[in-house]
Amino acid sequence: MTFRATVLTLYPDMFPGTLGQSLAGRALAEGKWALEARNIRDHAIDKHRTVDDTPAGGGAGMVLRCDVLASAIDAVADGRPILAMTPRGKPLTQARVRELAAGEGAIILCGRFEGFDERIFEGRGVEEVSIGDYILSGGELGAMVLLDACVRLLDGVMGAPTSGEEESFESGLLEYPHYTRPVDWEGRTIPEVLRSGDHAKIAAWRHARAVEDTRLRRPDLLERHGGATRSSPSGARHEDWEDE
Ligand code: SAH
C-alpha cells in the first residue's frame, strides 16, 4: 500500500515544492508515496470560475464556497481521511502524524482568503487541522508540513530504521541536545559524559536532559503526557569519542 496524498488548492504549482527535495523528494521519485495537487478552481460552476464569495453577515475578505469545495472533494474521495488546513483546527501532533502515516494517505484542503464555508466540514466529514497558533496566508505550507512529517515515517524513507524513535515528542519529551565535532569550538566544549564511552552513563545523561529541558521549555508536554519518563535513549551508535 502506497501512501497517497491529494492536495486540493488554488495553487497546484506550489507542489511538490519542498516535498520534491531531499528525503521526501527522493521517496517520491522512488514511488514510496504519491502526490497529486489539484486545482479547486476546476470545480467552479460558473463561467467566471468563481471559487469564493463575500462573508455572510458582512466583513472583510472572501470565503471559499462549500459547493465548489464539495465538488473538488467528491472527485477524489475514496475513503482516505479528508483534512482541511485551518488555524481553527485541532493542533497537529506527532501522534496524529503517526496515525496518518500508517494509513492510505490523505486528501488535504488548502484554504485561502478568510478560509472555508463552515458547512463543508460536517457536510463532507472533514477533519480540521492547525499547524500552530499563527496565521499563514494559505493552507499550502500547512499541507506541506503535514505531508513532510508523515512521509519521513513511511517504510524505507528514513535511513536508519530506529532514527525516528528518540525524536522530540515521540516519548512525550523533547529530545536531548546533540553535539558533534569539533570537540572545542570557540572555547565551548562538548559535555564530558558524551565523550566518556560509557553508554549507560550517556543514556542516563540524555534522558535527564530530555526531562529537564522539557520541564523548562515545554511544561505543557509533561502535563499532557502525565509526566512521561519512559524514554530510554540508547546512545546506539557506538562511536569512538573517547579518543578525541
Ligand atoms: N480567517 C482565518 C484565517 C485564514 S488564513 C482565521 O482567522 O481563522 C487563510 C488560510 O491559510 C486558511 O484557510 C488555512 O487554510 C491556512 N492557514 C492559515 N493559518 C493556518 C494554520 N495555523 N494552520 C493551518 N492552516 C492555516
Ligand 1 mutation target, pool 11, 134, 136, most atoms within 8 A of CB: 136
Q: Are residues 10 and 128 in the same domain?
A: yes
Q: Are residues 100 and 19 in the same domain?
A: yes
Instruction: Report the CATH number that the domain containing residue 14 is assigned in CATH.
Output: 3.40.1280.10
Q: Are residues 169 and 132 in the same domain?
A: no
Q: Are residues 143 and 182 in the same domain?
A: no
Which of 121, 151, 181 represents a domain boundary (last residue)?
151
Q: Are residues 119 and 180 in the same domain?
A: no
Query: In 88-116, which positions are buried (b, 16+ CB within 10 angstroms) versus exposed (e)?
Result: ebeebebebbbebbeeebbbbbbbbbebb
pLDDT in tens, 189-234: 999 999 999 999 999 999 999 999 999 999 999 998 775 454 445 5
Q: Are residues 71 and 191 in the same domain?
A: no
Establish whether residue 130 lines the binding site of ligand 1, counting it when its CB lies within 6 angstroms of any ligand atom: yes
Task: Give the span between the Cα atoms of 233 and 173, in whole angstroms.
Answer: 11
pLDDT in tens, 148-198: 999 999 999 997 666 667 788 988 999 999 999 999 999 999 999 999 999
Cell (9 digits) for 132 = 500552530
Q: Are residues 204 and 183 in the same domain?
A: yes
Distance (Å) from CA 145 to ligand 1 centroid: 14
Q: Are residues 109 and 181 in the same domain?
A: no
Q: Are residues 53 and 9 in the same domain?
A: yes
33: helix, strand or coil: strand
- The predicted model scores a pTM of 0.93
Whole-number pLDDT of residue 161: 61
Domain residues for the domain of 35 are 3-151
Number of domains in the chain: 2
Q: Are residues 40 and 12 in the same domain?
A: yes
The answer to whether the CB of 82 falls within 8 A of the CB of 127 is: yes
Establish whether residue 71 lines the binding site of ligand 1, counting it when its CB lies within 6 angstroms of any ligand atom: no
Ligand 1 atom having least distance to the Cα of 110: 15
